[in-house]
């Protein structure tokens, strides 16, 4: 029976997972290289925003079931939940997974299970087993009777949670679990069975890795289709939102929504892992990435055209996060658009983003001010809706009457 779990990486996946496990009665040790995050969590506080996460972390720390530090400790199960970004040329960067693996190596014991939750290119789970055996020749993954007392287990169980509803989805989502062999798969299924109510679907490691990349590529391709419809409709003077609403009345058609581009650290990244692994075989997936990445520049061009008629144009940009009702600005197409408008000096930009208190210093923004929504609209010639935040529902539509409205989400439709 698993009692002790060590979670490496306390970000949007690792921290909710660690605190959930602690609440469920496991003895959990969390590890992060970010010392500030470690300090905060040990005080029962959080360094990221996710609804109710603060309450759960506080309860987990106060109960004594969750401790965190910058070094792993011995455990029954090790969960790796570190970033897998891409580097130049859209190539996957596995350095965080490698470092996380090396960090647990001294603490591994025979019988331990290592689980990779990070979205990863195909073959990464097998690589983890190889890295461990290189560093610890006393451990192995062989099932022969001779080696059985020194074997460890490795499996991939990709996270599938949606920011904004992570705590519910961690428990309720079905999980795909693929081990480097059937013993590893079975051991990982038995572990997740202790806290997941969704179905636990066993497979091998490579299929599990591919399943996660497939899910996010599927969404990217479908959003690209919606964005392409928006280009066609602009060209032919058709309302794309009405068009999609009508087409979706067909029982077998379910078109997604166009937007200012695809953001976040998953959907705009993961399809590249497939393109990198099989360049000749991924023409559609590659094109979808190109279509979605083209969208922010397209929006900037539309704003620039409309701004030309004003001597000193003022543009209100509504929303900065990568999607509705969250505060996460990472890889946000709205940020890209605002940075472009600022760099090209298209006009003065007033931003309304009710989910943040101040603009991050890292943004390269001149002539850009954060202000309350209605003030931003009042002071503008052009209103550019970038994020369909629920709070924008209360905008007084009369304020928009004299303005040029560019609505990338069909929000005011
Ligand atoms: N978007 C559109 N039009 C749509 C839907 C989304 O433009 O119709 C845009 C959003 O505005 C956003 C981007 O796409 O910029 C991505 O948002 P999302 O809500 O589709 O997805 P994420 O990135 O928040 O979470 C996804 C989820 N994957 C799938 O839905 C297949 C989640 O389940 C994964 O766990 C997560 O990626 C991840 O971590 O990989």
**pLDDT > 90: what percent of the chain?**
91
Residue 164 and residue 113 share a domain: yes
| CA-nearest residue, atom 38 of ligand 1 | 266
Whether residues 273 and 167 share a domain: the answer is no
Domain contains 225:
no
User: How far is it, in rounded angstroms, from Cα 368 to Cα 342?
Assistant: 7
Spacing, Cα 163 to ligand 1 middle (Å): 9
Q: Which residues contact 51 (CB under 8 A, 6 or more apart)?
A: 164, 165, 167
What's the pLDDT at 115?
98
251: number of CA atoms within 13 Å, CB side? 0
Kindly state if the Cβ of 76 falls inside 6 Å of ligand 1: no
Stronger pLDDT, 4 or 330, i.e. the higher one: 4
Boundary-marking domain end, from 149, 173, 198: 198
Q: Which of 6, 157, 187, 266 is catalytic?
A: 266
Q: Is residue 59 part of a domain?
A: yes
Say what the pLDDT of residue 300 is: 98
Q: Which residues are paired to 407 by β-bridges?
A: 385
Atom number of ligand 1 nearest to Cα 261: 7
Spot the catalytic one: 212, 295, 323, 348: 212
> Which atom of ligand 1 lies closest to the CA of 215?
31
> Do 135 and 277 share a domain, yes or no?
no
160/36 same-domain check: yes
The reported pLDDT for the residue numbered 364 is 74
Give the atom of ligand 1 at the shortest distance from the alpha carbon of 263. Answer: 15
Instruction: Mark 121-146 as b/e (b = at least 16 C-beta within 10 Å).
Output: bbebbbbbbebbbeeeeebbbeeeee
Q: Compute the distance between CA of residue 153 and CA of residue 123 in angstroms, rounded to an integer.
A: 15
pLDDT of 296-309, one tens digit each?
A: 999 999 999 999 99
Domain shared by 62 and 162, yes or no: yes
Whether ligand 1 lies within 6 angstroms of the CB of 223 is answered as: yes
- 208 located within any domain: no
- Tens-place pLDDT, residues 310-344: 999 999 999 999 999 988 898 999 999 999 999 99
* Residues present in the chain in total: 413
**Would you say residue 214 lies in a domain?**
no
| Residue 179, domain CATH | 3.40.50.720
Residue 220 lies in a domain: no
Q: Based on the domain organization, do 185 and 257 belong to the same domain?
A: no
- Please check whether residues 145 and 242 belong to one and the same domain: no
Model confidence over 129-186: pLDDT tens digits?
999 999 999 999 988 777 778 999 999 999 999 988 999 999 999 999 999 999 999 9
Residue 185 shares a structural domain with residue 299: no
Residue 266 designated active-site: yes
Indicate if ligand 1 lies below 6 Å from the C-beta of 368. Answer: no
Q: For ligand 1, is residue 411 a contact (CB within 6 Å)?
A: no
| DSSP, res 321 | S
245 in a structural domain: yes
Quick check: 119 pLDDT over 90? yes
Alpha carbon of 322 to ligand 1 centroid (Å): 9
pLDDT at 365 over 90: no
Ligand 1 mutation target, pool 264, 273, 329, most atoms within 8 A of CB: 264
CA geometry: angle 312, 314, 315, nearest 5 deg: 145
Question: Which run of H or of E encompasses 77?
Answer: strand 77-80
Same domain, 17 and 133: yes
**Which domain does 257 fall in, by range?**
237-407
Best mutation site among 13, 176, 262, 274 for ligand 1, i.e. most ligand atoms within 8 A of its Cβ? 262
pLDDT digits (tens, 9 = 90+) for 203-244: 999 999 999 999 999 999 999 999 999 999 999 999 999 999
Question: What's the mean per-residue pLDDT of the chain?
Answer: 96
Q: What is the pLDDT of residue 161?
A: 95
CB 162 near ligand 1, within 6 Å: yes
Of all protein residues, whose CA lies closest to atom 14 belonging to ligand 1?
262
Q: Is the CB of 256 under 6 A from ligand 1?
A: yes
- Name the domain count of the chain: 2
| Among 179, 198, 217, residue at a domain's last position | 198
Atom of ligand 1 nearest to the CA of 163: 24
Same domain? 296 vs 180: no
pTM of the model: 0.94
Asked if residue 264 has its Cβ within 6 Å of ligand 1, the reply is: yes
Query: How far is residue 300's CA from residue 63's CA, in Å, rounded to a whole number?
Result: 51
187/242 same-domain check:
no
Q: Are residues 250 and 172 in the same domain?
A: no
pLDDT at 121: 97
Is residue 228 one of the residues assigned to a domain? no
- Ligand 1 centroid to Cα of residue 355, in Å, is 19
pLDDT: which is higher, 149 or 32:
32
Q: What is the mean pLDDT of residues 111-135?
A: 98
For ligand 1, atom 28, name the residue with the nearest CA. Answer: 216
Residue 266 Cβ inside 6 Å of ligand 1? The answer reads: yes
User: Closest ligand 1 atom, CA of 218?
Assistant: 31
Q: Are 399 and 374 in contact (CB under 8 A)?
A: yes
Judge whether 374 and 396 are in contact, CB under 8 Å.
yes
Buried b or exposed e, range 237-271, using 16+ CB within 10 angstroms: eeebbeebeeeeeeeeeebbbbbbbbbbbbbbbbb
Cβ of 156 below 6 Å from ligand 1 = no
Burial class (CB in 10 A: 0-12, 13-18, 19+), 175: buried
Structure-token match 């306390």, residue found: 10
Residue 44 lies in a domain: yes
């Amino acid at each position: 029976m698993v009692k002790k779990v060590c979670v490496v990486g306390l970000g949007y996946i690792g921290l909710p997972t660690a605190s959930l496990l602690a609440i469920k009665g496991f003895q959990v040790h969390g590890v992060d290289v970010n010392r500030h995050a470690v300090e905060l969590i040990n005080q029962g506080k959080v360094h990221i925003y996710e609804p109710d996460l603060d309450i759960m972390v506080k309860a987990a720390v106060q109960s004594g079931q969750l401790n965190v530090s910058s070094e792993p400790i011995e455990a029954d199960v090790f969960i790796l939940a570190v970033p897998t970004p891409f580097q130049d040329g859209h190539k996957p960067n596995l350095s965080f997974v490698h470092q996380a693996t090396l960090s647990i190596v001294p603490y591994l014991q025979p019988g331990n299970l290592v689980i990779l939750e990070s979205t990863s290119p195909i073959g990464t789970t097998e690589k983890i087993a190889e890295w461990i055996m290189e560093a610890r020749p006393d451990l192995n993954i062989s099932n022969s009777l001779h080696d059985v007392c020194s074997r460890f287990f490795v499996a991939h169980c990709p996270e599938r949670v949606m920011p904004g509803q992570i705590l519910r989805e961690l428990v309720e989502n079905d999980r795909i679990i693929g081990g480097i062999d059937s013993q590893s798969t079975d051991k990982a299924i038995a572990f997740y069975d202790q806290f997941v109510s969704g179905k636990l679907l066993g497979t091998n490691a490579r299929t599990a890795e591919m399943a996660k990349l497939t899910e996010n590529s599927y969404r990217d391709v479908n959003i690209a289709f919606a964005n392409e419809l928006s280009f066609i409709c602009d060209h032919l003077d058709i309302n794309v939102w009405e068009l999609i609403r009508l087409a979706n009345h067909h029982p077998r058609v379910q078109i997604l929504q166009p937007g200012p581009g695809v953001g976040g650290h998953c959907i705009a990244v993961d399809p590249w892992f497939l393109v990198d692994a099989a360049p000749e075989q991924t023409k559609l997936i590659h094109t979808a990435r190109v279509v979605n990445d083209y969208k922010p520049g397209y929006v900037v061009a539309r704003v620039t055209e409309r701004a030309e008629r004003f001597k000193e144009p003022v543009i209100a940009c509504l929303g900065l996060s990568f999607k509705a009702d969250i505060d996460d600005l990472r890889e946000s197409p709205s940020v890209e658009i605002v940075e472009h408008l600022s760099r090209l000096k298209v006009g003065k930009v007033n931003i309304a983003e009710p989910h943040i208190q101040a603009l991050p210093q890292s943004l390269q923004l001149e002539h850009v001010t954060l202000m309350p929504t209605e003030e931003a609209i009042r002071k503008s010639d052009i209103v550019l809706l970038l994020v369909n935040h629920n709070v924008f529902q209360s905008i007084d539509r009369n304020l928009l009457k004299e303005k040029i409205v560019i609505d990338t989400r069909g929000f005011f439709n």
